[in-house]
Structure 1
Amino acid sequence: MSDLEPIRLAPRLAAVPAVAAPPLQPAPTQVSFDRRELNALLNLYGRMVAAGEWRDYAIDFLKDQAVFSVFRRTSEAPLYRIEKTPRLARRQGAYAVVSSAGHILKRGHELGRVLAVLEKVNLKLVTG
């Protein structure tokens, strides 16, 4: 080999340092109402609006519970909160109706039975 002859090198792949992927973390789960539950809640809400009892609602989906709040007026505190807390499902029941004062009016495993506490029979005196 002479000094003027080019040196041929075998092609090499550049060594890339291995980058460890960050551990996969599950996305934070969010508790929500399913279609059947929302249907029951909105049916009750519609009846109460028609009766002039309620005027507004709010839905909050939190990490550990979902809350459906109903208001007489928008600027007030909620009259009632219907809460779904799945971690209580095996104990007292996942559903609860809470008054504006914070008292639990009804708690249970079935939403329909819990909502029954809010069903009010409006009796009116009819005079002839």
Structure 2
Amino acid sequence: MNSLTPFPHRPEQTETVMFHRIELNEILSLYGRMVAAGEWRDYGISALRDAAIFSIFRRSAEQPLYRIEKRPKLRNKQGMYSVVGMDGQILKRGHDLKAVLRVLERKLIRAI
């Protein structure tokens, strides 16, 4: 019996970064409040090899207003969570997702 397969499994290429359920609950809680306020209308989630990205849209045809990113490689440096604006500027970065999301909650206070 031959142990070689035509498509060998290479785990380092198939692993992706994902948001955990607790992280998604935090993000979707904020998202729901912003949708109720009429500020946001759509979202997209990307799971890449080095990052998980939650993109927030005002309309689905636009580029994202904000991106909430999780980059585990930055865990020991600036923090693995960040909020990035439409222009690519990092609005907040840190180790605690709740603290990072506060930069967007301030926008909710202004919207109401």
TM-score of the aligned structures, taking structure 2 as reference length? 0.87
Cα deviations by residue, 1:60-102 (Å, 9 ceiling, x for unpaired): 0001000000001111110000000000000000000000000
Structure with more of its chain in helix, by fraction: 2
Residues 63 and 53 (structure 1), Cα distance of their counterparts in 2 relative to 1, 3 Å cut: same
Specify which of 17, 37, 53 is matched with residue 67 of structure 1. 53
Mapped pair 1:40 → 2:29: no
Matched, 1:122 2:107: no
In the alignment, structure 1 residue 100 sits paired with structure 2 residue 89: no
1-structure distance, mates of 2:52, 2:111: 33
Question: How far is the alpha carbon of 1:123 from its aligned partner?
Answer: 7.2
Match of 1:11? none
SS in 2 for 1:87: helix
Partner residue in 2 for 1:79: 65
- d(CA) in 2 for partners of 1:81, 1:44: 13
1:72 & 1:41 partners in 2: Cα distance?
16
| Greater RCO, CA 8 A, separation 6+ | 2
Question: Is 1:91–2:77 an aligned residue pair?
Answer: yes
Aligned to 1:51: 37
User: Given the two structures, how large is their TM-score scaled by the length of structure 1?
Assistant: 0.77
CA distance in 1 between partners of 2:2 and 2:46 (Å): 40
Structure 1: which 5+ runs fail to align?
Answer: 1-17
Shift of 1:25: 3.3
**Aligned residue-pair number:** 107
* One-letter amino acid of the counterpart of residue 26, structure 1: P
Identity %: 56
- In structure 2, runs of 5+ residues without a counterpart are none
